[in-house]
């Protein structure tokens, strides 16, 4: 389909924004899909692994999410979101679907995220490590009950009703903790200057 | 229970609704601009949480599997009615945006198949991509045929986006559009040209009146 020589093409793609890459994916450009995977595959896998706690299932979730990107990139264009947000939302959704389908024991006391493994490149590592620290620090600044609602919901894959039962709180309290927690997290991340997109 | 539907925006952003609640909330979302705004803003923070879980790199085979699977399913997908032809006429854009905003796949099945200008430019030998800031890119072929892919918010009422081909200081009109799009540039883009996009009054104008929202460097 594409007739440009590979070296030029790869360099061109590396310069494109996430959104431009998604436009190309919507036009069936698999090199653009490959570039998006290079940008988000690792964070996607980390998220899926945190939720699913199983390498095979985590790979399944990431694979389904990226195939979702491949099939549905055209739908992204009318969304009011950054490409990174859209992609990571798909990954989270797939992982949560799987964890609920598999009925994996979840929401047990949350361990900290696993230690990062072998670095890919120093640059990637620094950037990902930096983001990870920013997010974790922002979470620690939330009141404990808000952090708990976000962590059990987002990383644990629990529904609000499951959370209400587990924490023995009214459903309305859980909704409100999620809303306040997420709003504060947004403000904290804004202050810290964390952009969701690839640097 | 007649709970306040607005209160589900954060649980929805976190994927913490069960299937019934989710369906109800998406129906609500279709008619509630305030919730759509709130959701867009909360989703950014939610997605940032993913970075809090960064851990070991996935095995390299995962990428290979994904790319192989993507390549394998493309021929099948193309023959289906919902062939991804996201260059539907701009007239349909409002309806599409409304459908997509509530996260349903209605429009994908209803869009007419049409050729994709970006893909057809890129299919030409020697074609290249020129970034337009972080908003998109220009694809241009050696004979000057060109298309742009842009992700911009919907133009406000009474306004339109207008594309320009600027060469030797003269800006020529190159097409109107109303939001995120792929647009064929209907003038040849020769070396030394700049392709830019401005926001103008509806109907378009003869010369740009505002600073470009997106522009290429000089095309080489």
Within B118-192, strands assigned E span 128-132, 136-140, 146-150, 159-167, 170-177, 181-185
Residues of chain B neighbouring A178 (CB-CB closer than 8 A): 10-11, 14, 16
Contacts of B185 (CB under 8 A, 6+ apart): B138, B145, B146, B147, B148, B163, B165, B174, B175, B195
Locate the chain B residue with the closest alpha carbon to A76: B100
CB pairs under 8 A between A and B: 287
DSSP letter at B182 equals: E
Q: In the structure, what pLDDT confidence band is assigned to residue B184 with cuts at 50, 70 and 90?
A: confident
CB neighbours of residue A116 within 10 Å:
16
Is the CB of B15 less than 8 angstroms away from the CB of A1? no
ipTM of the complex: 0.86
Q: What are phi and psi of B198, to 5 degrees?
A: -125, 165
Q: Which of A2-6, A80-84, B70-74, B103-107 has the lowest mean pLDDT?
A: B103-107
Residue B14 is predicted with a pLDDT of 97
Locate the chain A residue with the closest alpha carbon to B96: A78
Exposure b/e, A44-80, CB count within 10 A at least 16 = b: bbbbbbbbbbbeebbbbbbbbbbbbbbbbbbbbbbbb
Domains of chain A, first to last: 16-104 (1.10.1740.10), 115-199 (1.10.10.10)
Residue A120 is predicted with a pLDDT of 57
Could you report how far apart the first and last alpha carbons of chain B are, in Å? 63
Q: What is the dihedral of CA B49, B43, A83, B160, to 10 degrees?
A: -160
Whole-number percent of chain B with pLDDT over 90: 34
Residue A196's H or E segment, with its range, is none
Residue B89 is predicted with a pLDDT of 28
Locate the chain A residue with the closest alpha carbon to B141: A4
Residue B17, min C-alpha distance to chain A (Å): 5
pLDDT in tens, A105-155: 554 544 544 444 444 566 666 788 889 999 999 999 999 999 999 999 999
Residue B200's H or E segment, with its range, is strand B194-201
Domains of chain B, first to last: 5-52 (no CATH), 60-110 (no CATH), 117-215 (2.60.40)
């Amino acid at each position: 389909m594409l007739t440009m020589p590979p070296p030029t093409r790869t360099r061109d793609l590396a310069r494109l924004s996430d959104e431009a890459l998604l436009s190309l994916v919507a036009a069936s450009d698999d090199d653009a899909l490959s570039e998006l995977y290079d940008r988000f595959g690792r964070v996607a896998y980390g998220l899926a692994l945190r939720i699913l706690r199983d390498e095979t299932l985590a790979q399944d979730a990431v694979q389904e999410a990226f195939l979702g990107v491949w099939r549905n990139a055209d739908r992204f264009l009318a969304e009011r979101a950054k490409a990174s947000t859209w992609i990571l939302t798909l990954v989270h959704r797939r992982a949560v679907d799987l964890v609920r389908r598999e009925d994996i024991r979840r929401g047990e006391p949350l361990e900290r995220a696993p230690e990062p493994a072998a670095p890919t490149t120093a640059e990637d590592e620094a950037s990902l490590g930096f983001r990870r620290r920013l997010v974790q620090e922002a979470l620690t600044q939330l009141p404990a009950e808000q952090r708990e609602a976000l962590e059990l919901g987002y990383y644990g894959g629990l529904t609000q009703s499951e959370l209400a039962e587990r924490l023995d709180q009214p459903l309305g309290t859980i909704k409100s903790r999620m809303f306040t927690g997420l709003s504060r997290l947004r403000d904290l991340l804004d202050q810290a200057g964390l952009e969701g997109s690839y640097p | 229970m007649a709970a306040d539907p607005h209160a589900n925006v954060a649980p929805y952003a976190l994927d913490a609704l069960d299937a019934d609640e989710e369906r109800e909330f998406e129906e609500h979302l279709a008619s509630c601009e305030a919730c759509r705004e709130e959701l867009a803003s909360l989703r950014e923070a939610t997605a940032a949480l993913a970075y809090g879980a960064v851990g070991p790199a996935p095995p390299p085979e995962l990428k290979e599997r994904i790319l192989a699977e993507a390549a394998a399913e493309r021929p099948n997908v193309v023959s289906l009615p919902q062939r991804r032809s996201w260059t539907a006429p701009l007239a349909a854009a409002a309806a599409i945006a409304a459908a997509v905003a509530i996260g349903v796949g209605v429009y994908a099945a209803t869009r007419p198949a049409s050729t994709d200008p970006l893909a057809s430019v890129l299919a030409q030998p020697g074609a290249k991509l020129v970034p337009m800031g972080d908003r998109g890119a220009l694809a241009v072929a050696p004979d000057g045929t060109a298309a742009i892919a842009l992700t911009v918010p919907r133009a406000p009422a009474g306004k339109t986006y207008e594309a320009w081909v600027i060469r030797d200081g003269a800006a020529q009109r190159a097409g109107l559009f109303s939001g995120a799009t792929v647009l064929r540039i209907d003038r040849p883009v020769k070396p030394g040209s700049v392709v830019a996009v401005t926001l103008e009054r509806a109907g378009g104008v003869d010369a740009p009146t505002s600073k470009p929202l997106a522009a290429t460097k000089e095309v080489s």
